[in-house]
Structure formats: structure tokens, C-alpha cells
Amino acid sequence: MPDNFLNKYRKKIAPRLAKKLGKKNLLAVPRIVKVVINVGIGDIAKDKEKREKAINTLASVTGQKPQIRPAKKAIAEFKIRQGDPIGLKVTLRGRRAYDFLQKLFTVVLPRVRDFQGVKRGSFDKQANYTLALTEQIIFPEVDYDKIDRVRGMEITFVTSTSDKKEAKALLEELGLPFQGKN
């Protein structure tokens, strides 16, 4: 059985990162706590059949059934009532998160047309990185004939550190291709 990405992180990446960041204890090295994937489905909130297709597509991509997220507020301009389903969310932790990252970095991102790398400035104040994808068809599990519409998704990598430099070093070691040098 091939070595999974979590074991690779623990055996190779974490010690290398500890040396690079000057950490003496491996538990002080930054790590991925969870990966959160969000997909907006506001346009198909009323159509149960299309909503089920979106749920099945996201479940096939992540390997986990998504939660349906309701609207917190009513917005008359968009014809949204409080409690209407407007999004799907999946939270991956542990081995599933690292396996998803491996697939994303090695298979999915290279399939993006004219891919030059991801932006360096997408870190928030807590040093979590958010990556926006405009179409879900770049995932190999998605059958183009079975989707009703091309949807984008937002993928957030939640890290155990609050230092952006450490989080960037972690993602580079894991294999996230950033734009340019530095």
C-alpha cells in the first residue's frame, strides 16, 4: 500500500519544516487542522433534483456528504428567505484532509488551463489560506455529462499557526504551487 500524504507530512515534511522554521519540537511545527470546501447553490435552492446533483458532485469530489447551509438573513432583492438553502459545506479533517490536499496539489491544479500558480496574498488574519476555483469540472471524479451547471468552489486551508510566513512555508512544503518566486 502506498504511503499516504499524512504519513509523508509526519515523516518527511514536518522535520524539514521544523529545521527551516527553527522549531525544536515537532508539535510546534504548523500543520493543516482542517480543509473547508464551500459551494454556493442559491440559484437551485428551490429545485430539489438539481440540488441533489450538486450534493452528489461535491460528495464525489471530497469523499464526504456535504451539509446544506441555510441563509441566516432574508434578502428581498435576491428572493431569499431566512432558512432557505444557499450553500453546501464540507469540512475535512485528519487523513481525509491530507488526501484531499494531495489530490488537489498533484492532480487537480495542474489540470487548470494556463495555470501559473496560486496567489500569495490569499491569507487571512489567522494565517488560513483560501483558494477559489471557478469550475468543479477540473476534478477527475466529476462527469461533465452529469452536472447541470459549472459551479465554483471556495477551499480554505485552516492551519495551526497564526503566522502567515509559517503558514506559507507549510503550504509550499506540502506542494501548493505559488505564483512566481518568493
Q: Please state, in angstroms and rounded to a whole number, the distance separating the CA atoms of residues 69 and 71.
A: 7
Considering only CA atoms, which of 25, 105, 129 is closest in space to residue 14? 25
pLDDT tens across 111-161, in order? 777 777 788 888 888 889 998 888 877 888 877 777 777 888 899 999 998
Half-sphere exposure of 129 (CA within 13 A, CB side): 25
pLDDT tens across 45-70, in order? 677 788 888 888 888 888 899 998 87
Q: Name all domains of the chain by residue range, CATH numbers in brackets.
A: 5-39+48-69+87-174 (3.30.1440.10)
The per-residue pLDDT for 1 is: 33
* Phi (first) and psi of residue 140, to 5 degrees: -65, -20
Considering only CA atoms, which of 128, 109, 125 is closest in space to residue 179? 109
User: Can you say how many angstroms the Cα of residue 32 is from the centroid of all Cα atoms in its chain?
Assistant: 11
